[in-house]
Amino acid sequence: MKQRIGFALLLAVLILGGFGGSAHAAAVLSLNSANGDVWDLQYRLKVLNYYQQPLDGKYGVSTAAAVRKFQQNYGLHADGKTGSQTWSALKKYSLNLNEMDTMARIIYSEARGEPYEGQVAVGAVVMNRIQSSKFPNNIRDIVFQPGAFTAVQDGQFWLKPNRTAYLAAFDAVRGWDPTHGSYYYFNPNTSTNSWIWSRPQTVKIGNHIFAK
């Protein structure tokens, strides 16, 4: 389902780009916890539209309620605590702040000339790969997998993303998938790879064909 991100949260990405290390799956967070992992947790929940309060790094009742709602929607034990199973699900269906920057970079470098839906579609491919056992389970390993993305190979990945790329990243993480579950995409006007042409195609958006 298509959901749009608020401008305030977008600004958090643009301004606080240095924040957002990997959360530790072994760390159990609950009421009154207060550390960097709580910031990470709140950010992920806010991106997914579960947490509506300011990011403050304090595990209060609002954070616990957001965790409980997430757990309910993803078939987890809804106790409002963030243990290993909840962390695993959050990492599968959300991104932290640094990872969101990586997502915006790959969208911008691969699809900045595409229509907005096509930019979201590139992000959706990345999310589909994170959620699949066929690919690495984190965005960095997916993006830097050898030969996976042309923009990484030619250095365009390091271009600074614009606001539209961040908006597309948020829409993709929040579940908008114009590709219908695709893992690949290619430009039919330039691709000569016979293997990619053999993949089951789902949709064409802009200059890209998406495939499974």
pLDDT, tens digit, 9 for 90 and up, residues 171-187: 999 999 999 999 999 99
**Burial, 65: exposed, middle or buried (Cβ in 10 Å; 0-12, 13-18, 19+)?**
middle
Q: In the predicted model, what is the mean pLDDT of residues 131-136?
A: 97
Same domain, 132 and 158: yes
Same domain, 102 and 193: yes
Query: So what's the pLDDT on residue 4?
Result: 53
Q: In the predicted model, what is the mean pLDDT of residues 151-180?
A: 97
153: left (phi over 0), alpha (psi -120 to 50) or beta: alpha
Contacts with 52 (C-beta within 8 Å, 6 or more apart), sequence order: 46, 62, 66
Contacts with 194 (C-beta within 8 Å, 6 or more apart), sequence order: none
pLDDT, tens digit, 9 for 90 and up, residues 47-66: 999 999 999 999 999 999 99
The reported pTM is 0.88
Rounded CA-CA distance 101/17 in Å is: 7
Measured between alpha carbons, how far is residue 36 from residues 16, 27, 199 in Å?
Answer: 14, 11, 42
Between 14 and 65, name the one with better pLDDT. Answer: 65
Name the pLDDT band for 10 (thresholds 50, 70, 90).
Answer: low
Query: So what's the pLDDT on residue 6?
Result: 59
Same domain, 141 and 43: no
pLDDT exceeds 60 at position 1: no
Query: So what's the pLDDT on residue 24?
Result: 47
Between 166 and 14, name the one with better pLDDT. Answer: 166
Rounded CA-CA distance 11/25 in Å is: 27
pLDDT exceeds 60 at position 69: yes
**Contact criterion met (CB below 8 Å) for 71 and 86:** yes
Which of 44, 64, 93 is where one domain is finished?
93
Same domain, 204 and 105: yes
Which segments within the chain are labelled E, that is strand?
184-186, 201-205, 208-211
CATH number assigned to the domain comprising residue 138? 1.10.10.2520
Question: Does residue 181 sit within a domain?
Answer: yes
The rounded percent of the chain whose pLDDT value lies above 90 is 84
pLDDT exceeds 60 at position 210: yes
User: Dmax over Cα atoms in the chain, in whole Å?
Assistant: 56
Same domain, 81 and 39: yes
Question: Does residue 110 sit within a domain?
Answer: yes
Question: Does residue 41 sit within a domain?
Answer: yes
Provide the domain limits for residue 69.
7-13+26-93
Q: Facing residues of 34 across strands?
A: 58
Give the angle subtended at the CA of 171 by the CAs of 30 and 99, to the nearest 5°: 55
Name the pLDDT band for 2 (thresholds 50, 70, 90).
Answer: very low
pLDDT, tens digit, 9 for 90 and up, residues 76-123: 999 999 999 999 999 999 999 999 999 999 999 999 999 999 999 999
Same domain, 111 and 204: yes
